Structure 1
Amino acid sequence: MNHAATSTDREPLIAGRPRILRAAAELVRQDRTAFVAMVLLNALAVGAGLVGPWLLGRIIDEVRGGAGVGTVDRLAALILAASLAQLLLVRYARRVGYRFGERTLARVRERFVERILALPVPVVERVGTGDLAVRGTADIGAVGTAMRDAGPDVFIALIQVPLILGVVFLASPLLGVCGVVGFAGIAVAVRWYLRRAHPAYLAEGEANSALAEQLSGAAAGARTIEAFGLEQQQIAHCLERIDTCYRTRMRTLHLRSVLFPAVDVSYVIPVVGVLLVGGVLYEHDMVSLGALTASVLWLRQLSQPLDTLLQWLELLQRSEASFARVEGIGVLLDAQGQTAPTAPGAEPVDDRIELTRVRYSYDGAHDVVRDVDLTVRPGERLVLVGPSGAGKSTLSRLLAGIDVPDSGSVRVGGVSLSALPPELLRRQVVLVTQEQHVFIGTLRDNLSMAAPTATDAELAEALAAVGCDWAAQLPDGLDTELGDGGHHLDGAQAQQLSLARVLLAGPHTLILDEATALLDPRSARRTERTLAAVLDGRTVIAVAHRLHTAQDADRVAVMEDGRLTELGSHDELVAAGGAYAGLWNSWHGRSAGVSSS
């Protein structure tokens, strides 16, 4: 049963602007030497670029004053030197900027992965794999493009604009005022755009996540969709998501279609204004022809950094929205940290598991587990049985610490499972279900992640313990590549591989929820008996879908409608003639399995 909320049920996980700014400042601080070098090199490059128009104005004034060819040649050589210096400075500034961007992007990726891995499993289920995939790919990609590509260009432009306006004011304050007033149209257009762009790009990102979640859910449930003839319904849902993506995308396109034409017109106005006003000032000897020429060239030069800023404005808005979504995982993680109980330094004193008045619901209204009291003794083999929907799988998740009860407590060795850090919890209790994953890499990689120091002999022993006879037939043995592009394992083989990983991890309590469901009955029986021998001395809790498992157990716990109604050995419960006896007689008489919830 999938308890993850759909994308329409979730609150969008978005970080506020203050958090984004703090996160960006922290990224800059971590590589501040490169950042400072990038800023200085860009400032020097901009300064070198301003020398050319000033020298050209000097040439005009010198020639009008009767200077000879030697003066012109000398100033022209300085223009060439300034241009060469600008070229070299820009090259090295971009080199430093790109390296800074790549390192920063790597930190963003690493932090994102660390946060995802730190989230509790129920939270990941609630957020949705499609949403997380979009945040980890498209959103981080947008952030990376902004840092690697837009970052250097924007820094250069931000330095150029005030410097160019400053030298125009130095040449003639009146011409400087004229230029600034002429660019007022750009300020109005940009202000209009910025007020609307951020929410529009957030909406576009959320729509993309919803579409990805819908498609991933349809792909994962393809067999169910086909079995129940739900193809047209799923197509309708996908088309609805696509339509939302289309409308949000058209909204951002509309914003750009207004911004860019308004900016293009605004570029011409200050140059025309300076020429008209400058002509009047020149006639009254209030400005020299060289200063007027340099001012016009500088203002024309100003269009380049402004154009750069505006061209990157869309990406910056998109990347800000993407950064807000990436940092939204941090907001979620912080919220989990604030609500999760903590017990610094607490460690279980033994392997006893105790449930006290445990209640749990997925929607906050209907309890799936109701007032369960249960003690699992160290080394015991306990089997959970009951009709479908009785709450067995939910109880197994509570026992494994994956879900936290709404009320009551689940403790191991006197310590609440929710108070244990993940690395300690997984040494105590591990839940194995039929949903297993084969990681891209070798068979050795897939096994040694559970026991990094295990030898090849120990890996082979774990494979043999769970009946992985197929492992010996692999072309490269433990070095055989698995996953996409490698050797494909079927569902039963993937389950066996997962069980071998569990053996290598060595938890004291193992919870099996249909862990052998994909194996044929004979293989499942053999694997279960082998596991029983290998796990001798460890606690094993199994959700039974074949009641012969209950016959082998020390005790059987019967779940009905979320409650624990019977508890005892197989023989005791059969003799009692209650619910378990009915299940046993029904299963044994018709040889039909009892499905688990």
Structure 2
Amino acid sequence: MRLLAGCLRGSAVLVTLSVLGGLVYQLALISMPWLIERAVDRGVVGHDDGALLRWSLAIVLAGVAAAGAEMVLGWFATVSGTLQGNRLYLALADRISALDTRALGRFGEGDLGMRGTRDVDLVRIWLMGFGSFVTGLIGFAVMIVAIVRLDPLLAVVCLVCVPPLVWINTYWFPKRFGKANTALSAAHGSRADAVEELLSASAAVRGIGGEPELVRRHATRSAAVSEHTLRTARISANWAALSPFVPAAALAAGLGLGGLAVLRDSMTVGGIVAFAGWMSMLVMWVGVLTLRLSQLSQAVTAARRLQEVLTIPPAGAADSGRLMPRQGTLTAVRVSAEAGGRTVLAPVSLTARPGELVAVTGPMASGKTTLLRILAGLATPAGGTVHFAGTSFDDVAPDRLHARIAFVPQRPVTVSGTIADNLRLGADLTDDDLREACAVAALDGFLAGLPDGLETEVGERGSTLSGGQLQRLALARAVLRRPAVLLLDDITSAVDAATERTVLERLRAWSEGTAVVCATHREALLEAADTVVTLKEPPAAAAPTTQETEEQVAHGG
């Protein structure tokens, strides 16, 4: 509820304007039965053409006012909901980008996607309906007061329906609907994870006959989504049907009693028409309020899921506010890492100065990728410290850190679009800038042979590019940012020896003021490096080792 209240405060002016529009709409709408009552009693029954004309004109004006006010309500409600939905999405994206691997490990990729789409949309939809919810409650109260003024007996009939309506709409169905919707949201997240696995792992397991298991897992989770959707829909349908039934039954009873009152001349014909109009509105607004309450229940569930991510403290939250220099030395002192109760990176130290090339090597499972992720600020070490230009990573906000340290993974990720889109990533860069970066990454020859050049589509997940081309595209993308430290995770593993030599030569010429750290097992890179850090395979025991496991060998020293 605090998150939802914060969204309302964030668009307080827009929400207020939508509520004011809704109030005018409600008052104009509620005035119509009263105006009709006057037109019937004084114009029709009283045979007064002038009165009939005046009251008919008043009804038309009330209708125009209601239409204009509803436009105001809808406009400002839509704007406020859309703005806050976008802000919530950006806040979620910012927090996810600031979390380390350990924190993100609590959520699946598909589940995070559902939180950023479905859950944000549920909050946005509730925000868009907030104005009509508030004014609907006010209109509900005003209509009851109007009926009380009309006739005490009809007021009793109207008030009798209030307790069951309150019980139905504030306790019985919200409680059941909220529980069912929470289960549905979890099922959607679980299925989204299965979809992500099916898309990303299908090609890898197809050749060994594992794809049917991924399909079966997706089918099972889809069946769970269907089951929870039907359960939620049944509760929603019963809620939507029972809520209007109560005031509809009161309307039937009121028409019977009101008709008898008209026959006894204790009520006018216009009075019974006004009562029928107000009770019909009551039925309609009970349906609207029921919808808004169900949206509130969904929004609360969605907000709870969003806060599970937003309330996680980001890595490097204790920002000292210090500016990061454009160049500096990267230093790691006895950093280690653990996962699942075992050591995955034994304590290791290294130093990378501007213009130096540091190679990190070692056997499989020795923690080369883990070390690079720690140096990039993407993972938190279990022990040890990392500094850039004398400043600890713990004292730097992630966005400031990532502006100086670039990480290129062994399996790069592309975005949908062209090669230029993947290089720019929204930055203001010219085509010449892109071509220069491609030249550093030895991608210029491939680019020159493409009919569309930089405007070539990369395809789904980079399907039109080979593994080596993807690696060099990711390298060019990092080069464009001119980082102080460039971390490369075996980025020449998918290229031939000649291309590797070209990449090394151009990278060394480019990196005069940049420290380059590369995890590799390739001889060419190890020979070209200024310093080689050799990792040893960590012990199998869960307890972290206390023995230094790195070996630094300075070429020529």
Tell me if both proteins adopt one fold, taking TM over 0.5 as the criterion: yes
Take 2:387 and 2:495, find their aligned partners in 1: how far apart are those partners? Answer: 32
Of 455, 459, 464, which residue of structure 1 is paired with 2:434? 459
Question: Among the aligned pairs, what percent are the same residue?
Answer: 26
**Which residue matches 1:127?**
107
User: TM-score under structure 1 normalisation?
Assistant: 0.81
**Which residue matches 1:526?**
502
**Which residue matches 2:142?**
163
**Which residue matches 1:417?**
393
Q: Could you say if the C-alpha distance between residues 279 and 513 of structure 1 is closer, same or farther in structure 2, counting changes exceeding 3 Å?
A: same
CA shift for structure 1 position 432: 1.6
Structure 1 stretch displaced more, 407-416 or 316-325: 316-325
CA deviation map 1:79-124 (0-9, x unaligned): 3333343334334443444344444444344444444444446544
Take 2:394 and 2:491, find their aligned partners in 1: how far apart are those partners? Answer: 24
Counterpart amino acid of 1:178?
A: V
Of 335, 342, 346, which residue of structure 1 is paired with 2:319? 342
SS in 2 for 1:221: helix
**Which residue matches 1:567?**
552
Count of equivalent residues? 546
**Which residue matches 1:58?**
38
**Which residue matches 1:182?**
161
**Which residue matches 1:20?**
3
Q: Do 1:550 and 1:570's aligned partners in 2 also have CA atoms closer than 8 Å? A: no
SS in 1 for 2:11: helix
Take 1:486 and 1:408, find their aligned partners in 2: how far apart are those partners? Answer: 37
Take 2:127 and 2:257, find their aligned partners in 1: how far apart are those partners? Answer: 41
SS in 2 for 1:219: helix
Q: Do 1:349 and 1:413's aligned partners in 2 also have CA atoms closer than 8 Å? A: no
Take 2:46 and 2:361, find their aligned partners in 1: how far apart are those partners? Answer: 106
Alignment root-mean-square deviation, CA? 3.3
Take 2:73 and 2:343, find their aligned partners in 1: how far apart are those partners? Answer: 61
Structure 1 stretch displaced more, 544-553 or 462-471: 544-553
**Which residue matches 1:584?**
none
CA shift for structure 1 position 181: 0.9
Take 2:55 and 2:460, find their aligned partners in 1: how far apart are those partners? Answer: 65
1:460-539 equivalence runs, <5 A? 460-468=435-443, 469-480=445-456, 482-483=458-459, 488-536=464-512, 538-539=514-515
SS in 1 for 2:314: helix
**Which residue matches 1:435?**
411
Take 2:117 and 2:295, find their aligned partners in 1: how far apart are those partners? Answer: 16
Take 1:209 and 1:481, find their aligned partners in 2: how far apart are those partners? Answer: 30
CA shift for structure 1 position 193: 0.7
Q: Do 2:414 and 2:462's aligned partners in 1 also have CA atoms closer than 8 Å? A: no
1:239-278 equivalence runs, <5 A? 239-278=219-258
Q: Do 1:481 and 1:487's aligned partners in 2 also have CA atoms closer than 8 Å? A: no
Q: Do 2:368 and 2:535's aligned partners in 1 also have CA atoms closer than 8 Å? A: yes
CA deviation map 1:213-235 (0-9, x unaligned): 12212321223322443234323
CA shift for structure 1 position 192: 0.5
Gaps of 5+ in 1: 1-16, 573-597
**Which residue matches 1:583?**
none
Take 1:103 and 1:40, find their aligned partners in 2: how far apart are those partners? Answer: 19
Take 1:232 and 1:483, find their aligned partners in 2: how far apart are those partners? Answer: 25
Of 317, 328, 337, which residue of structure 2 is paired with 1:360? 337
Take 1:126 and 1:369, find their aligned partners in 2: how far apart are those partners? Answer: 21
Take 1:455 and 1:74, find their aligned partners in 2: how far apart are those partners? Answer: 69
CA shift for structure 1 position 74: 3.5
User: TM-score under structure 2 normalisation?
Assistant: 0.86
CA deviation map 1:539-559 (0-9, x unaligned): 222212223322332332221
CA shift for structure 1 position 385: 1.8
Is the counterpart of residue 553 in structure 1 residue 529 in structure 2? yes
Take 2:151 and 2:215, find their aligned partners in 1: how far apart are those partners? Answer: 66
CA deviation map 1:267-314 (0-9, x unaligned): 322113323554676677765554344223211221111122224444
Take 2:493 and 2:405, find their aligned partners in 1: how far apart are those partners? Answer: 20
CA shift for structure 1 position 125: 5.4
Is the counterpart of residue 390 in structure 1 residue 366 in structure 2? yes
SS in 2 for 1:564: coil
CA shift for structure 1 position 186: 2.6
Q: Could you say if the C-alpha distance between residues 473 and 252 of structure 1 is closer, same or farther in structure 2, counting changes exceeding 3 Å?
A: same
SS in 2 for 1:127: coil
Counterpart amino acid of 1:45?
A: Y
Is the counterpart of residue 207 in structure 1 residue 187 in structure 2? yes
Take 1:431 and 1:84, find their aligned partners in 2: how far apart are those partners? Answer: 61
Q: Could you say if the C-alpha distance between residues 346 and 44 of structure 1 is closer, same or farther in structure 2, counting changes exceeding 3 Å?
A: closer
**Which residue matches 2:402?**
426
Take 2:105 and 2:522, find their aligned partners in 1: how far apart are those partners? Answer: 28
Gaps of 5+ in 2: 539-547
Q: Could you say if the C-alpha distance between residues 486 and 151 of structure 1 is closer, same or farther in structure 2, counting changes exceeding 3 Å?
A: farther
CA shift for structure 1 position 194: 0.6
Take 1:89 and 1:164, find their aligned partners in 2: how far apart are those partners? Answer: 18
Take 1:342 and 1:139, find their aligned partners in 2: how far apart are those partners? Answer: 30
Of 383, 406, 409, which residue of structure 2 is paired with 1:407? 383
**Which residue matches 1:197?**
177
CA shift for structure 1 position 212: 0.8
CA shift for structure 1 position 560: 1.6
**Which residue matches 1:581?**
none
Counterpart amino acid of 1:564?
A: T
SS in 2 for 1:560: coil
CA shift for structure 1 position 151: 4.7
